[in-house]
Copies of this chain bind each other. A is one copy, B any other.
Amino acid sequence: MDYLDIKVKFLKGFADRTRLEILESIQIEEKTVLQIVGEIKGNQSNVSQHLACLKGCGIVTARQEGKFVYYSLRDEQVKSLLTMFDTVLGDVVQQVAACDKNDQCLCGKSELKCLTKRKKISP
């Protein structure tokens, strides 16, 4: 596991809708798991797993208080990174959205396209 692998893991932490929703919900203040579950749609098990992921990626921290566990953004750096995402994205939202409507790229698409026929790979 080299530095690049770690970087990928860190970035994958952000690259999921459910996790972004979680991060949004704790952006202002720390929340318990149940509070987060209540704010975003999703069940407790799923949220718990995503929180473990975010923690493992160094994005959030957990603080236990009695039977509650409070999750919050790791530090100010992470907070400003989240802000920067929106800033940078601001310039390209239109384009990314447009790319999705047209067929300029397939990333992030689940459509299947089967247009032509090709020879089978010989064994």
Shortest beta-carbon distance, A77 to chain B, in Å?
Answer: 4
Q: Which residues of A contact B (CB under 8 A)?
A: 1, 3-17, 20-21, 49, 52-53, 55-58, 74-75, 77-78, 81, 84-89, 91-93, 95-97, 99-100, 104-108
21 A-B Cβ contacts within 8 A?
A: A4-B20, A6-B89, A6-B93, A6-B97, A7-B20, A7-B86, A8-B17, A9-B96, A9-B107, A12-B15, A12-B107, A14-B15, A55-B104, A56-B105, A57-B99, A57-B107, A74-B92, A77-B87, A77-B88, A78-B88, A84-B84
Rounded to whole angstroms, the CA-CA distance of A49 and B106 in the bound complex is 9
User: B7, A89: Cβ atoms under 8 Å?
Assistant: yes
